[in-house]
Amino acid sequence: MKNINITLSEDVARWLWIKAAEDNKTVSEWVSELLEEARRRQHDYRIAMQLLLTRAPDRIDWPSERRSTREESSDHPGRKLA
């Protein structure tokens, strides 16, 4: 374990003490778990992003109904076509 010092405002420190006490933990344990969870989420996000970016593009399956024409999809309200 490594000891570190952090500086917090009085309001944040008070909130932190209360949250740790509600979970029956020390401030150190509570903050450590919070940071471990943040690190795990970041790691999981990176793994998911790598998997997504290494996948081959999928074919888009359009609904069986008629597709819009180019003119229909470009016809925005308030836009006048010449």
Q: Residue 81 corresponds to which tokens in the numbers above?
A: 């076509």
**pTM of this structure:** 0.60
Mean per-residue pLDDT of the chain: 86
Q: What is the pLDDT of residue 56?
A: 82
Flag whether 11 is in a domain: no
Flag whether 81 is in a domain: no
The parent domain of residue 32 ranges over: 28-55
Total domains in the chain come to 1
Per residue in 42-72, pLDDT (tens digit) is 999 999 999 988 988 777 776 666 667 777 7
- Phi then psi for residue 13, to 5 deg, are -60, -45
Q: What is the pLDDT of residue 78?
A: 60
Flag whether 64 is in a domain: no
Q: What is the pLDDT of residue 55?
A: 85
Burial class (CB in 10 A: 0-12, 13-18, 19+), 25: middle
Flag whether 33 is in a domain: yes
